[in-house]
Amino acid sequence: MFDLSNLKPAAGSKKKVKRLGRGSSSGQGGTSGRGHKGQKARSGGKVPPYFEGGQMPIYRRLPKRGFKNPFRKEYAIINIRDLADFAQGSVVDIHALKEKGIIRSSDTAVKLLAEGEVGVALSVKLDKASQAALEKIRKAGGSFETL
C-alpha cells in the first residue's frame, strides 16, 4: 500500500548538504573550501561581475557615443484607420482616443498619420498630423485643429 507513511524521494534525487567548517576529518574543515586568505576568503567578500581587479574598467575605457536630446518630444502615433470607430461628426481628441483604448496615456502628445481611410466627417483636435492625413480628413468633410 502506498500512502504518506512510506513516501520516499526518487533514488539519487536528494543530495547530502556539504557541511562546512566542522573539523578537519569532514574534508571541509579549516578554510571551508575557500582557500587561504584574500578577498574571496573573507565573509562578505564578494566582487561584482564587472570588477576588473582595479584596472580601468571597460565601460570607462570605451568612448561614449551619440547625443541624447533632453528637449526631445515623444509622440504616440496613430493612423487614420484607427478613427474608423468614431461616429459621423464626433470630436476626436486625446481624451476620446484614451477612452476607446487607442492610446495608453492622455499625457502624451499624439501625431496622426495617413495609413488607412476615413469614411466619415470628423473634427480632429490633436498635436500633429502628416500632410497626407490632413488631406484625407478634409476630403472626407472633416476638420483638423492643432492643440
The total number of residues written for the chain in this structure: 147
Report yes or no on 124 lying in a domain. yes
Kindly state the average pLDDT of the residues 36-54. 91
**pLDDT value at 80 more than 90:** yes
Q: Is residue 36 in a domain?
A: no
Q: What is the largest CA-CA distance in the chain?
A: 92
pLDDT of residue 147: 86
CATH at residue 125: 3.100.10.10
Domain housing 88: 76-146
- Give me the chain's average pLDDT, please: 92
pLDDT at residue 110 greater than cutoff 90: yes
Q: Is residue 10 part of a domain?
A: no
Cross-strand pairs, 129: 112
The set of cell numbers assigned to 53 is: 581587479
Could you tell me if 123 and 143 are in contact, meaning their C-beta atoms sit under 8 angstroms apart? yes
In a domain, 94, yes or no: yes
Instruction: Report the pLDDT value the prediction gives residue 85, as an integer from 0 to 100.
Output: 87
Q: What is the C-alpha separation between 95 and 121, in angstroms, rounded?
A: 19
Question: Is residue 28 a part of any domain in this protein?
Answer: no
Amino acid at 142: G
Indicate whether 115 belongs to any domain: yes
Q: Is the pLDDT of residue 2 over 90?
A: no
Q: Is the pLDDT of residue 16 over 90?
A: no
Q: Would 87 be classed as within a structural domain?
A: yes
Confirm whether 90 is domain-assigned. yes
Q: Give the number of domains in the chain.
A: 1
DSSP 56: P
